[in-house]
Structure 1
Amino acid sequence: MAMAGITNFINEILQDLHTSFYLAIGGTLEEETRDWSSRAADLASTCIKILILLAVVGFFYWLAIYFVKHNQERLRISNKRLKVARSVLRYIWIVLSLIAVMSQLNVEPGTVKATAKASIWAGLYYVLWTTSGQIIHRVLDHYGLNASIEQLLKNLLSVLILVLGLASVMAQFGFDIVSLVAGLGIVGLAVGFAAQSTLANFIAGITILLEQSFQVGDWIKIGEQEGRVVLISLRTTHILTRDNITIIVPNSNVASSEVVNLTSKNFVRFDIRVRIAFEADIDTARAIIMQVLKDTDVILDRPEASATIVEIGEYGVFFIVRFWVTPSAVAQMPKIKENLNENIKKGLDEAGVSIPYPHMRLLMPKDVDYPIPTKPFETKTHLASDK
């Protein structure tokens, strides 16, 4: 009994496959007897027609490619435009071949018509997508905007073209685009609530790119982090420090923090402090400091550097030395300051200008008789100021 059941099951499957194949080659269920020879003849005739149509379409495609390729100089077509033209012609060849095959396979005329319209819409959006990048580049280059804005607009326009193209293609096959867009809106709202931080970073990234407070290549300081901006994406900003360490900061943190852009202008000023002794000659020390600044290549002559007294403290006289550098030197500023301190120290030593260390001086009047201590370690000391 078990073997008989399995045999019947296999026979039913084979019968279904037999019927499906007969229907696929043009037969009908209403036929009392299945005429395989006539069906085979019809199938062979259909295949021959399809091959002929494909050969004709392929011949015109080859002819168009041959004409464009051998008349490239006459038509003044660049290599980049030639690639675009070949892509368009290849797309037309594929679409025409598909329609030719569908027309010979008894596909409903409405489906063939919808496929043709959908192919036209898809081709138009493809051409728009390929040319949008060049259009955006020319417009932004004309107005002098940076590459970050260009990449943002390209991404947004690509997404917009993709959505509109998909909606136009689906509309040709009877899909309700309004309901689909409404459904996507509900899904997008739910995703937005689930990923609020990501959405906040995305909006902050767009704001940063549009405001252009800083650009890729600028040296900025965000809180305690300082470095060169190497990437501004829609979610994060990447900063490369002097130690060759990449710091990835969420855009929401960047937008809510105080950002110092050190390279937004043509030159930037820094300063160091130098201390000399009270009895040292100020003019001599200033001349040595200014000479060291003049001999340092990275320091600009205009605007002029300066060395002025900023404080007379407990342990000496303090100079504040101000100098200007170009934005390219900001990344090396610690090393520049270290070299300046070293060279100034050497110059002051050679000129005999002392740099005092913190100390305390005890002054006692000469006309006071101090008693000699009668016990070991017993002493009395009178401290007085200079008078």
Structure 2
Amino acid sequence: MQPIQISLADFFHKIFYDLYQSIYVSLGGSLDDGVINWAERGIRFLEVGIKCVILLTVIGFFYWLFVYIVKHLKCRLHLSQRQVWIIRANLRYAWVVMSMLAIMTQIGVETKTIAATAKATAWAGFYYVLWANSGQILASILKHYELNASIEQLLKNLISVLIMVLALATILAQFGFDIVSLVAGLGIVGLAVGFAAQSTLANFIAGITILVEQSFQVGDWIRIKNQEGRVVKISLRATQILDRDNIIIIIPNATMSSSDVVNLTSKKMIRFDVPTRIELDASIEDARQAILKALAKDEVVLRQPAPTVTVGEIGDYAVHLVVRFWVAPLSVARIPIIKEQMQEKIKNSLEMAGMVIPKVALSVELPKSHISITDDMTKPDLTKTDMDESD
């Protein structure tokens, strides 16, 4: 048992000694010195720490000085809250970058690496400012062309992706990466991913087609299959609609482009048809005037085109009327409740005019039966015993 204990001790002793040497080398020492002088290494580490603290204090002082100046010149320069936020964000970014570079200069990082890091952070800040303001710049440019929100959203997404790709390529180029080879490799990988994600690619192409054709836009009320709602977002992968129950329905763009989509708000007005009926001997003109008078009091019904009441059919027991009226697209979300309320108002208006909505009359004809009824079936049952009179 003794040899095994000695070998294990030597094993762990070697591990701790290797860790000891690696920590020493990481602090700037050399294994060729023979003796590891931890006191000298500690003094060197303390000097580096003090220098870093001094540099960070100086940089922090200038940062807070500029923030103080901006805060007190806000009213004099008539700066908005957004402008102040942008200036402070840039100052904060410069503070972080300068602090990082100051630490890198004191811990022995090569000059080339420090210069590359400075250039990379400068380019990263430039692309970040460009990305943050791209939406506002694009909106001001597209305002003169009167493009809808869907096209504007598509362009914003494409520009954001383009800025991110350019930023990544520019930052990697500062550290000596071959951008041409990287782009070629990404192209091959993208081709492979494209074959593996054909459904996603189909949704992407369908999304661009929807945005270009503008068959429906953000804000339109559409019906697709058994789903109905207002379009709230058209992305490059799917379309989101908000139904009457305040539930978001996400439908892939490939399904949207290959299905029959009914756009209920593509025009300035929508017509509703509500059926009703009156008795055969009732006056059609009196019923029409009573219904039109009730519709005139409803704010949802448009005055132009004027609502109409026409005879749809004359049945065996009633006259079937069709009440037609128009509403604005903003009322489409309330279609069911509008129809329900309109039926109630029509019924009340007819009753106030002294008219009764006839009920459906059903006539049932029974075939003649050839079964004879015997006397025993028609006679009462006389076999019942009399009750005891004593009870």
The TM-score bracket by the shorter chain reads 0.7 to 0.9
Read off the aligned partner of 1:66 and give its amino acid letter. Answer: Y
Read off the aligned partner of 1:325 and give its amino acid letter. Answer: V
Name the stretch that deviates more: 216-225 or 162-171.
216-225
Name the stretch that deviates more: 93-102 or 131-140.
131-140
Read off the aligned partner of 1:113 and give its amino acid letter. Answer: A
Counterpart in the other structure of 1:81: 83
The secondary structure found in structure 2 opposite 1:321 is strand
**Residues 317, 96 of structure 1: CA spacing in aligned structure 2 closer, same or farther, 3 A cutoff?**
same
**Residues 40, 222 of structure 1: CA spacing in aligned structure 2 closer, same or farther, 3 A cutoff?**
closer
Aligned residues: 364
The secondary structure found in structure 2 opposite 1:324 is strand
Question: What is the distance in 1 between the residues matched to 2:15 and 2:317?
Answer: 104
Identity of matched residues, %: 55
Counterpart in the other structure of 1:322: 324
Shift of 1:13: 2.8
Please point out which of 152, 175, 179 is paired with 1:173.
Answer: 175
Say whether the 8 Å CA contact 2:278–2:355 is kept in structure 1.
no
Read off the aligned partner of 2:167 and give its amino acid letter. Answer: G
Q: What runs of 5+ residues in structure 1 fail to find an aligned partner?
A: 361-375, 378-387
Say whether the 8 Å CA contact 1:218–1:229 is kept in structure 2.
yes
Shift of 1:341: 3.7
Read off the aligned partner of 2:207 and give its amino acid letter. Answer: G
Counterpart in the other structure of 1:219: 221
The secondary structure found in structure 1 opposite 2:76 is helix
The secondary structure found in structure 2 opposite 1:271 is strand
Name the stretch that deviates more: 6-15 or 136-145.
136-145
Read off the aligned partner of 1:156 and give its amino acid letter. Answer: L
CA shift digits 1:231-288 (9 cap, x unpaired):
4344333334445555443222222222222223332222233445555444333333
Counterpart in the other structure of 1:381: none
Counterpart in the other structure of 2:292: 290
Counterpart in the other structure of 2:337: 335
Counterpart in the other structure of 2:274: 272
Question: What is the distance in 2 between the residues matched to 1:73 and 1:333?
Answer: 51
Question: What is the distance in 2 between the residues matched to 1:26 and 1:230?
Answer: 60
Counterpart in the other structure of 2:303: 301
Read off the aligned partner of 2:100 and give its amino acid letter. Answer: L
Please point out which of 63, 66, 82 is paired with 1:64.
Answer: 66
CA shift digits 1:150-185 (9 cap, x unpaired):
444444333332222122111111122222222222
The secondary structure found in structure 1 opposite 2:301 is coil
The secondary structure found in structure 2 opposite 1:75 is coil
CA shift digits 1:160-218 (9 cap, x unpaired):
32222122111111122222222222222222222222332233234334444333443
Please point out which of 193, 196, 202 is paired with 1:194.
Answer: 196
Say whether the 8 Å CA contact 2:203–2:237 is kept in structure 1.
yes
What TM-score, normalized to structure 2?
A: 0.79
Say whether the 8 Å CA contact 2:270–2:329 is kept in structure 1.
yes
Q: What runs of 5+ residues in structure 2 fail to find an aligned partner?
A: 364-371, 374-391
Counterpart in the other structure of 2:379: none
The secondary structure found in structure 1 opposite 2:33 is coil
Question: What is the distance in 1 between the residues matched to 2:56 and 2:345?
Answer: 83
Question: What is the distance in 2 between the residues matched to 1:39 and 1:244?
Answer: 67
